[in-house]
Amino acid sequence: MREAHPDERAVGVDWYVSDADGVGGRLKTSAADFRVRELEAFDVEPLDADPGSYPHVVFRATLTNWDTNDFADSVSKQLGISRERVSWAGTKDKRAVTTQLFSVKGVAPDAIPDADEAEVELVGRAGRPVLFGDLAGNAFEITVRDPDHPERVDAVTDDLRAFSGTDDRVGVPNVFGPQRFGSQRPVTHLVGREVVREEWERAVRTYVCTRTEAERDDSFRARSEIDDRWDERAWSEFVDLIPGRLRYERSLLSALVDNGGTDPADFRAALERFPTNLQSMLVNAVQSYAFNRMCSRRLNRGLPFHEAVAGDVVCFADRDAPQAVELPDVGRLQRVDADRVDTVNRHLDRGRAFVTAPLVGTDTELADGEQGDIERDVLDEMDLAPSDFELPGAFHSTGIRRAILVRTGLSVDRDPLTFSFALPKGSYATTVLREYLKTEPTALT
C-alpha cells in the first residue's frame, strides 16, 4: 500500500492498495471522455397503459454536461410542476455523457420536454416513480488524456487483481470518492455532521461559509465576508453577496430572510427547502465518511477485503443482477462465526457473498471481532452513535451495510488510453481510476 493524496485522506481514504506507480493524466477533458450508461433494473408497462393505474411516465435521457439535479429542475420548470414529481435512479457527474432513467408523475408522454444537449427516449409507464437505487449498476467508458506513463497500466492491474483475490478481475475498496463530498469543495459531510448533532445554524453556516482554494475567487470572497459578518444576521445583504450560480447557498439565505433566522427552527426550515434527495445526501455524506474511515482502518490492520474473518458481517449476491456486475443484496446479511469462516469464504471466492461495513443509522448492528472493533473505534472517534440518526423528515436514516470490496472485469485500449468496465450501483468509477492515475483528486473530477 502507499499513502493517498491529502485531499483523499481528508474524506477518510488513507491508502492506495496498488504499490505500482501511476500513469498520470487527466479525466474529463471533455464530456465525451467520460461515458456512463445505467444498467437498468426497473420494469415498465407500455406507454398506452392506463394512466390511472400507471401515472408515472418513464423515459431514458442521454445527457451531455448536465448535472442530474439541474436536468430534473429543467424538466419540472418546463412542465410547470413540482420538482418532487421528477424522479431518477442515480445521480451522475455533470462533465460526462450519461444515459439514465427518469420518471415524471401525472403528465402525458408527449409532454416530456426536450432540452439542449439531451436526447430523450420514452420507455413506458409505471405504477410508482423511478427511485434512487432502481438500477443494477453502471457501465463506464473512460478516456485518460495525456498520460505520462501509459506503460504502467499492467503493473497496476496486477496489483488490483491480487487485491481482488481473482485472476480475471480487478478489485478496489468500495469507498466513496471526493466527489461524494463535493468535488471542488468537500463540505457535505461537515454539514451533515452538524445536522446529525441537530446544530441547525452551524449546519447552514458550514454550507454557506466553508471555502477552499479550489473555488472561484468571487465565491471565496463572498463566503469569507459572510462568515466574518455572520453574527450581524444581515441575511438580505448576504443574499446579494452570494454569486447567482450558487443557488443552494442563496436558497438557504433567502429562507432566513423570509423566516427571520433567529432560532434553530428557522435554520432547520432553511435546510428543508433543499430537495429531499439533497437533504438525505447531507446525512449520507456523514455515513460515507465513517465508512471510508472503516475501510482505511481495515486496510491498515492488514485484514483481507476478499475474505471474511471471524466477526465479520457478510451479505449475499443479488441473484437477479445482470452478468456484468456483482451486485450485493444488503438485505440478506449473515454474521460470520469462527466455525463458519471457511464455508463463508467459499461463497466469497465465487462472488456469492461480500464482506460489509456499516453506513451507520438507527437500525445499525455492528460487527464482532476485529471488524467490530474498527467500527466502534471510528464511531467513537467521530462521536457518533446509531441513535444520532433519529432525525426529522428526510434527514432520518435507518442505515444499511455496504460491501467493502468492488470487483470488475476491465478492458483497456491503449490509443487513446481508455478503460471500460461495469460497477454495481453505488460504486464509483474513480475508485478504480484513482489507482491507475495516482494523481491529485481534481484530475479525476
Separation between Cα atoms, residue 185 and residue 12, nearest integer Å: 15
Residue 7 falls in the annotated catalytic set: no
Local confidence band at 219 (pLDDT 50, 70, 90 cut-offs): very high
What CATH number is given for 2-32+137-174+407-444 in this structure? 3.30.2350.20
The reported pLDDT for the residue numbered 442 is 79
Angle at 19 between CA 14 and CA 21, to 5 degrees: 105
Separation between Cα atoms, residue 426 and residue 119, nearest integer Å: 24
CA distances (Å), origin 431, targets 83, 167, 345, 404: 31, 20, 24, 12
CA distances (Å), origin 334, targets 205, 287, 310, 344, 393: 42, 21, 12, 9, 30
Handedness of CA 74, 236, 188, 359 (dihedral sign): negative
Asked if the model's pLDDT at residue 184 lies above 80, the reply is no
What whole-number percentage of the chain has pLDDT above 90?
A: 84
Cis peptide before 275 (omega within 30 of 0): no
Asked if the model's pLDDT at residue 108 lies above 80, the reply is yes
Separation between Cα atoms, residue 205 and residue 187, nearest integer Å: 11
Asked if the model's pLDDT at residue 158 lies above 90, the reply is yes
Exposure on the CB side of residue 86, measured as CA atoms within 13 A: 23
CA distances (Å), origin 249, targets 66, 76, 84, 133, 221: 20, 21, 20, 27, 14
CA distances (Å), origin 286, targets 6, 32, 92, 237: 19, 32, 20, 31
Separation between Cα atoms, residue 272 and residue 278, nearest integer Å: 9
Average pLDDT on 281-292 reads 96
| pTM of the shown model | 0.89
- CATH fold for the domain made of 188-274: Hypothetical Protein Yqey; Chain: A; domain1 (1.10.1510)
* 37 closest CA partner among 62, 11, 67: 62
Q: 42-133 with 277-403: one CATH topology?
A: no
Q: What is the pLDDT of residues 323-380, one digit of tens each?
A: 788 889 998 999 999 999 999 999 999 889 999 999 999 999 999 999 999 999 999 9
Lowest mean pLDDT among 5-9, 54-58, 356-360, 406-410: 5-9
Q: How far is CA 183 from the centre of its chain?
A: 11
Local confidence band at 124 (pLDDT 50, 70, 90 cut-offs): very high
Separation between Cα atoms, residue 308 and residue 391, nearest integer Å: 33
Question: Which amino acid is residue 240, in one-letter code?
Answer: D
CA distances (Å), origin 281, targets 28, 156, 381: 24, 32, 22
Local confidence band at 182 (pLDDT 50, 70, 90 cut-offs): confident
Asked if the model's pLDDT at residue 181 lies above 90, the reply is no
Q: Give me the helices (H) in 233-334, please.
A: 235-241, 247-259, 264-271, 276-301
Question: Which amino acid is residue 379, in one-letter code?
Answer: L
Q: Which CATH class is domain 42-133?
A: alpha beta
Domain 277-403 has CATH 3.40.50.300: no
Separation between Cα atoms, residue 189 and residue 288, nearest integer Å: 8
The one catalytic residue among 33, 93, 159, 318: 93
Lowest mean pLDDT among 109-123, 157-171, 177-191, 212-226: 177-191
Q: Are 388 and 196 in contact (CB under 8 A)?
A: yes
Local confidence band at 93 (pLDDT 50, 70, 90 cut-offs): confident
Mean residue pLDDT across the chain: 94
Cell representation of residue 25 = 493524466
Q: Which residues does 7 contact at the CB level (< 8 Å), separation at least 6?
A: 178, 186, 440, 441, 442
Cell representation of residue 386 = 446509531
Where do the domains of the chain lie? 2-32+137-174+407-444, 42-133, 188-274, 277-403
Beta bridge partners of 429: none
Separation between Cα atoms, residue 150 and residue 379, nearest integer Å: 40
